[in-house]
Amino acid sequence: MAVTIKDVARAAGVSVATVTRALSMPDVVRAATRERVLETAKTLGYQPNRAARGLITGRTGNLGLLVPDLANPFFPGIVKGVQARAHEADHAVFLADTDENPAAEAGLVRKLAKQVDGVVLCSPRMPEAELRALAADIPIVLVYRRIPGTPSVTAAFLDGMRQAISHLTALGHQRIAYVAGPRSSWANRERVKSLRAVGRDVAGNGSPAGRASAEGKVSAAAKCELVEMGSVTPTFEGGVAAADGVLAAGVTAVIAYNDLVALGLLHRCAARGVRVPGDLSVLGFDDIPLGAMVHPALTTVALPKGPAGRAAVDLLLQERKEKRELPTQLIVRGSTGPAEG
């Protein structure tokens, strides 16, 4: 069987209590003893049983992580960030993939609850009330979702949207479509809110309101019209399906809910012989690796993934109840260009 603390104690000729101390409160045990204990622990290959420890300390050294769908290329980056930070902090992480089933989320979290010190909920789809109830029972941190009173990590959507529109207007686009994601999605609501805010600055023309953030980059010269198009499933197929509508809308540029949708748009354009960015500029949101691999490569607003995951773990471990908003960054690639005609 595995080597336990007793084995170490016996081998080192001390009590189990001393072994514990040597390991977790080194300064309270005599140097010579400590050395001997540590030495034998190492040679025996002793690894403390975290479950047993957790039983008494109440801290398990484990974290939970819930994602809607690992196959969605947006999430692996976040998972990696969570993992990396957790391992640095010597924590292991339980992963649960809900397969985009909102009803399964709470149950999975509750099952994990006893075995973890807290859980990171990545873009949870469950209703706010349920989220609140969960938060009351176990420490949670939200990533890419925000509700009052719960710590969260999100990104500066407004600024990202401003960068996007600023980029497009600078290229001369005056009529830009936005292909929306699911109405029930927090991420979509945020984008729409940002879009409209920027739209107000820009539509009335001239005077750059610049209310919100200082960097009112959508400058005076800009003047453009934003047309919101009905929501689609936030997938490649959703984008493919939306493409014809966009092409019929008489716009020269389109901002997609996310990169997957943008990729679908791109695909359908290629199939229909529409030149990108010649006939239509396409801009995404997320910055998934895929976007850089297609041709033309996708211009997109990069959302922090690894850093978001790390930040979430930090909040969890430090038990800080704050909301953190990470920066977004426009990444210009080949799918956007000057408006023609």
Partner DNA sequence: TTGAAAGCGATACCAC
Partner DNA sequence: GTGGTATCGCTTTCAA
Q: Which of 59, 111, 193, 275 binds a second copy (CB under 8 A)?
A: 111
Alpha helices in the chain (DSSP H): 5-12, 16-24, 31-44, 50-57, 75-88, 102-113, 128-137, 157-170, 186-203, 236-248, 259-272, 306-318
Q: 134 by DSSP, 3-state: which?
A: helix
**Min separation Cβ 81 and a second copy, Å:** 10
Is position 317 an interface residue for a second copy (rule: CB under 8 A)?
A: no
Exactly one of 35, 39, 57, 103 binds DNA (CB under 7 A); that residue is 57
Stretch that binds a second copy, among 34-42, 84-92, 164-172, 315-323 (CB under 8 A): 84-92
What is the distance between the alpha carbons of residues 59 and 90, in angstroms, rounded to a whole number? Answer: 12
Amino acid code (one letter) for 98: T
Q: Does 70 bind a second copy (CB under 8 A)?
A: yes
Number of shown-chain residues binding a second copy (CB under 8 A)? 49
Which residue number, 69 or 128, has a Cβ lying nearer to a second copy? Answer: 69
45 contacts DNA (rule: CB under 7 A): no
Encoded tokens for 248:
């019929």
Q: At what angle do helices 128-137 and 102-113 cross, to 10 degrees?
A: 0
99 binds a second copy (CB under 8 A): yes
Integer Cα distance of 214 and 240 in angstroms: 37
Distance from CA of residue 227 to its chain's centroid? 27
Measured distance between the N- and C-terminal CA atoms of the chain, rounded to whole angstroms: 77
Which of a second copy, DNA, none is residue 113 near (CB under 5 to 8 Å by kind)? a second copy
Identity of the residue, 55 or 293, whose beta carbon is nearer to DNA in the bound complex: 55
With binding defined as CB under 7 A, does residue 334 bind DNA?
no
Kindly give the pairing relationship between strand 140-143 and strand 118-122: parallel
Task: For residues 225 and 143, give the distance between their C-alpha atoms in angstroms, rounded to a whole number.
Answer: 32
For DNA, which stretch binds (CB under 7 A), given 26-34, 63-71, 139-147, 239-247? Answer: 26-34
Out of 9, 22, 38, 79, the residue judged to bind a second copy by CB under 8 A: 79
Q: Site residues (CB under 8 A) for a second copy?
A: 2, 47-52, 54-55, 60, 62, 65, 70-71, 73, 76-77, 79-80, 83-84, 87, 92-97, 99, 108, 110-115, 236, 263-264, 266-267, 270-271, 289-290, 292-295
